[in-house]
Amino acid sequence: MIVLAIDTATPAVTAGVVGHSASGVEVLAERVTVDPRAHAEQLTPNVLGALADAGLTMADLDAVVVGCGPGPFTGLRVGMASAAAYAHALNLPVYGVCSLDAIGVDTTGDVLVVTDARRREVYWARYRDGVRVDGPAVAAPADVPPGAEAVAGSREHAALFEVPMLPPVAPTASGLVRAVEWTQPPQPLVPMYLRRPDATPAGAGRS
């Protein structure tokens, strides 16, 4: 199975082409651009670039996997809308996963995964040997439950927890594919915002 994996829940705009089979996953190509303000501009070039690097085309794809957050509203919807559009146009199944799982699945031990939630907060989840045991949630770093042996995710925020840092720092194509429950049918894509978007319609909240 050839899978297109994309994520825009963090400043990293990730697109990868992954071979998935009963024996595991193989990353055939991956493009990552770190730019928190250019998700829409960078995602399609990264998708097309990864396909070209793998020597494949859209017609070779069998499924699409997308990170559904938690993440900021604007960036997150770019990846999810694109994944849904690719899947619809190509008549492919699309699987949504927690973007933090795509980081945590690559870890061992008791690990805290954090990404930037802005407003001096982080999105976080706790993993034990790659399996999520708590979260996802959003909180100030001081309010995140303590006790993890290591932290993965945002370098800037990882330093606040005074434990060793592990890779990866953002969702990977491999992690996205391995976070999917492949034995279950795909479910409707639901974004994990965890709070209301910063932008509101003009006049909202007025009585």
In order, the DSSP letters of 81-146 are: HHHHHHHHHHT--EEEE-TTHHHHTT--SEEEEEEEEETTEEEEEEEETTEEEEEEEEE-GGGS--
What is the predicted pLDDT for the residue at 173?
98
> Which residue in this structure is represented by tokens 């859209």?
58
- Residues 127, 110: Cα–Cα separation, whole Å: 6
Give the DSSP per-residue string, 19-45: EEETTEEEEEEEEEEE-TT-HHHHHHH
pTM of the full structure: 0.91
| Whole-number pLDDT of residue 158 | 83
For residue 183, what pLDDT is reported?
93
Beta bridge pairs of residue 134: 126
**How many angstroms separate the most distant Cα atoms in the chain?**
59
Residues 6+ apart with CB under 8 A from 105: 127, 130, 175, 178, 179
Domain with CATH 3.30.420.40 in the chain: 2-99+171-178
Residue with tokens 């209301």: 196
pLDDT of residue 207: 38
> What's the rounded Cα separation, in Å, for the pair 32 and 170?
10
| 10's tokens | 């963090």
What pLDDT is attached to residue 199?
47
Q: Is the peptide bond before 11 cis (omega within 30 degrees of 0)?
A: no
Strand, helix or coil for residue 16: strand
Report, as ranges of residue numbers, the positions in the chain whose pLDDT lies below 70: 196-207
Task: For 151-206, write each residue's pLDDT tens digit.
Answer: 999 888 888 898 999 988 999 999 999 999 999 999 999 999 997 554 444 554 44
> Cα separation of 77 and 84, whole Å?
10
pLDDT at 201: 47
Q: What is the pLDDT of residue 110?
A: 97
**What is the dotted CATH code of the domain comprising 2-99+171-178?**
3.30.420.40
Transcribe 167-196 into DSSP letters.
Answer: S-SS--HHHHHHTS-TTS---------SS-
Angle at 190 between CA 188 and CA 194, to 5 degrees: 165
CATH topology for 101-166 is: Nucleotidyltransferase; domain 5 (3.30.420)
